[in-house]
Amino acid sequence: MTGASGQLGAAVLDALSDAGLKSVSLTRSELDLEGDRIEETVAGLQVDWLLHCAAYTAVDQAEREPKRALRINGDATAAIARGAARSDTRVLYVSTDYVFDGAMSEPYPEDAPVAPINAYGQSKRVGELAVLEILERPLVVRTSWLMGGGTPNFASTMMRLGRTRDTLEVVCDQRGRPTWVFDLAPALIELMERDAEGVLHVANEGEATWYEVADALFEQARAQGEALELRELRETTTERYGAPAARPSYSVLDLTRARETYGVTLPGWRSGLIRALENC
């Protein structure tokens, strides 16, 4: 697997260990996604699956360096796919809800038109196309709003701020499916074990805004007896927040295909609040 030091990658490593599966984690020195030996390295692997979790994920920073985001998420993924094709290795590529523009008002199925509105989403879509075009039996798993791991993420940032500030403003006009990495990781392994292929949407059940996620985290923390500094949580809009990258206002993924075809479902996102707080 790639990206073992990242939020999702670390959770996948734990899930692989729990499942009793042997894994090889490729470090940056062994597989530099900005280097020129990606295809050769992957072609030399003797593995059944390659889980490609590594990515350029700094959504706002990607607006300032779109070429680098494209090089890592697009070009490097294409090289991985070419190497995997040479070594007869299956690839699971983790992608994002940000390949959609947010114009729909009902959950996005896998075959909905893609139209990313930021550089990050554009680069991930290039990676998707590479995997789908180069490999005979690719597996692309789109997920959304990942959090809950040990590295910095929305949940850990909210808790850090809630412990140090008395007032916070959180965006209330973006809606998606919050997804805990500790729920997603075993689901990815289950899909591999079931020999899944094609494009699938996998995320926690339920939907929310970022404001609602933050509010639920703080409510759970207080229920567990934590005395937060936070006294007021305010709603704000995407426009007022002023992030460099545009975000889809609605990116809820339709989870039907993974559930009906492979029996893979994740619990409701609120069920992971206690465990997420343990990681904050």
pLDDT in tens, 58-92: 999 999 999 999 999 999 999 999 999 999 999 99
- Report yes or no: 51 and 2 within 8 Å, Cβ to Cβ: yes
- Report yes or no: 93 and 138 within 8 Å, Cβ to Cβ: yes
Residue 209: strand, helix, or coil: strand
pLDDT tens figures, 105-126? 999 999 999 999 999 999 999 9
- Selected catalytic residue, list 120, 211, 250, 262: 120
- Report yes or no: 64 and 244 within 8 Å, Cβ to Cβ: yes
- Report yes or no: 75 and 123 within 8 Å, Cβ to Cβ: no
d(CA 71, CA 22): 30
The class of domain 7-147+179-206+251-267 in CATH terms is: alpha beta
Domain ranges of the chain: 7-147+179-206+251-267
d(CA 146, CA 160): 17
Percent of the chain with pLDDT over 90: 95
Q: Is 108 a catalytic residue?
A: no
Residue 241 has pLDDT above 90, yes or no: yes
pTM over 0.95: yes
